[in-house]
Structure 1
Amino acid sequence: MSEAFWALGRASGVVLLVLMTLSMLLGLLTRSGRPLLRLPRFGVQLAHRNIALLSVVFLVVHIGSLLLDPYAQLRLVDVIVPFAAAKDPLAVGLGTAALDLLVAVVVTALLRRRIGVRAFRVVHWATYLLWPISLLHGITAGSDGRSSAFLVLAAVSALAVGAAAVWRTTDGFVEYRRSRTEPVR
């Protein structure tokens, strides 16, 4: 049974990387005001939100399976306190730090109407830190983190998110010029 938890932990981590990458890409695209494959902006936003929520589900599966896996030797405190793990504290700590950032992003997203758009956006910028920390966690903590297949996936993900982030800084990013000049409410 422990091998099942180990396999589930590995697989959910890989799926999590893919989902988080898609969420980052859709989040960036949503801010441009452009449709995606004939999907209107609200559809892109909805896909972004649903993929982000699905990421949370896979994160729960990832953490839960590793807590039950005797080989991982993960304790509940390791999931809550960054860099406190007895086994591989840096690699596990990166995952814990990413989890803490993700909790802040999810909570503010759920409270967006109550806390206001400005506070939501400030905290949401943490995803630019959360995503690379998660990627480093996968490379350093995962048993397959240094395998050729995972490194190719990580490189493709990093190139895609990096290119989208660079694109966001260009003048051509926003489809409608007024989007850049409108005040944030």
Structure 2
Amino acid sequence: MSRAIPTTARNSYRHISQLLSKPAWSVRALLPSEPSSTPTITPKQLHHLLRLSALPQPSSPAAEASMIATLESQLHFVRAIQQVDTTGVEPLRSIRDETAAGSEDATISVDSLKDALENEETWGHCQRPRRRRDAPVDTAGIEDWDVLTTASQKVGRYFVVKSAKGAGTPES
């Protein structure tokens, strides 16, 4: 069963496939090609940043030079990302579905809790809610798996754990 794709959709699929066929950038392009001869981070600034972040100070001048080079590389990456044109792009507020359907799905209402609330009763001096003991718990789909399927030895509905002392036979 095949559907006919409208011409405009077919053209947009071609456009997307052409767009995705070649990368527009690479991580290598975002990293500095060679170390900067004049570092913008001074050793004094590095020591201050390490102290603020409660990280240990470099143990040697070589370790300090390595930390400065790494920090310079990271700053070069951040500057390259900051130069990306984001006009017309809404800021990302969160990583979740903020559509009307997503919001409705995430909303908890009294109607959605109705079944759970009907299976509760208040108990004790402070009238704390607790599940009624006579109310059945719906475990369909949650406890349908057999725990003993991977056990190498079983005795009835129990699995056997061999200890270093015994031969692995259950005691009566």
TM-score (norm 2): 0.21
If each structure's helix is expressed as a fraction of its own residues, which one has the higher value? 1
If each structure's strand is expressed as a fraction of its own residues, which one has the higher value? 2
Larger Rg: 2
Higher relative contact order (CA 8 A, sep 6+): 1
